[in-house]
């Protein structure tokens, strides 16, 4: 049964009483109810279109060495410094930072050590925990650091697949991070690691 006020992109043309979950709440003025229902249908349709367009319009960055690819909002800026790539927010305050390398020995412990060393003084919002999905294995966590210009919030992941290791972080001021949390999460979730040829 649907919760009152819940809508779905897949089922939007339903009688008002089915959405509220009770025929007892069916309004007396059917014309008014029909107008409200049409408005809710239009608003739900627009929300569904906006959500799908939001994700489908993203750009894709592929590392020059071919180790990984990641999707990001098209108005963000790519900056590279050697083996490190930054995907910077339009205001320049936040960034996704990615570094990747190939290890013939498969020494994942080195990557874990780098991740732990980077955040050992940070406040752990969510300490490093195992990350395992179809894109690779590794660790993920969320942290807060004290900086001169204020607190910064971080997502951090150290991921490997075969002999490719990727350390990817998202960071921004605490308030900006909260507003863009879902975007940062989607960028990190879009990471795909490729085996070198």
Query: In this predicted structure, what is the pLDDT of residue 187?
Result: 96
- Residue 47 sits in which domain range? 16-55
Residues 138 and 182 in one domain: yes
pLDDT the model gives residue 163: 79
pLDDT of res. 106: 56
The predicted pLDDT at position 1 comes to 39
**For position 99, what pLDDT does the model report?**
92
Same domain, 67 and 159: yes
- Evaluate whether residue 5 is within a structural domain: no
Are residues 63 and 146 both part of a single domain?
yes
- Is residue 76 domain-resident? yes
Whether 113 and 47 map to the same domain: the answer is no
Whether residues 102 and 146 share a domain: the answer is yes
Residue 191's pLDDT is 93
What domain count does the chain have?
Answer: 2
Q: Is residue 160 located within the same domain as residue 63?
A: yes
Same structural domain, 32 and 124 = no
Long-range contacts, stretch 172-181, CB < 8 angstroms, 24+ apart: 172/89, 172/93, 172/94, 172/95, 173/93, 173/94, 173/149, 174/144, 174/150, 176/89, 176/91, 176/93, 176/94, 177/94, 177/152, 177/153, 178/153, 180/89, 180/94
Per-residue pLDDT of the chain (197 residues; tens, 9 = 90+): 333 443 334 333 434 334 344 444 444 567 776 666 666 666 555 444 444 444 569 999 999 888 899 999 999 999 999 889 999 999 999 999 999 887 766 566 777 787 888 898 999 999 999 887 766 788 999 999 998 888 999 999 998 887 788 999 999 999 999 999 999 999 999 999 887 66
């Amino acid at each position: 049964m649907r919760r009152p006020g819940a809508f779905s992109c897949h089922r939007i043309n339903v009688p008002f009483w089915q959405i509220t979950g009770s025929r007892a709440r069916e309004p007396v003025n059917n014309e008014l109810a029909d107008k409200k229902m049409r408005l809710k249908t239009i608003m739900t349709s627009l929300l569904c279109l906006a959500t799908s367009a939001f994700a489908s319009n993203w750009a894709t960055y592929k590392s020059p060495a071919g180790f990984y690819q990641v999707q990001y909002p098209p108005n963000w800026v790519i900056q590279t410094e050697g083996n490190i790539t930054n995907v910077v927010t339009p205001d320049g305050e936040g960034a996704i930072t990615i570094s990747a390398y190939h290890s013939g020995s498969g020494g994942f412990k080195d990557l874990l050590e780098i991740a732990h060393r980077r955040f050992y003084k940070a406040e752990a919002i969510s300490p490093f925990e195992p990350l395992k999905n179809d894109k690779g294995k590794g660790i993920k966590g969320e942290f807060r650091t004290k900086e001169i210009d204020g607190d910064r919030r971080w997502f951090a992941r150290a991921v490997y697949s075969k002999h490719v290791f990727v350390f990817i972080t998202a960071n921004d001021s605490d308030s900006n991070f909260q507003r863009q949390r879902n975007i940062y999460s989607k960028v990190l979730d879009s990471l795909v690691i490729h085996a070198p040829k």
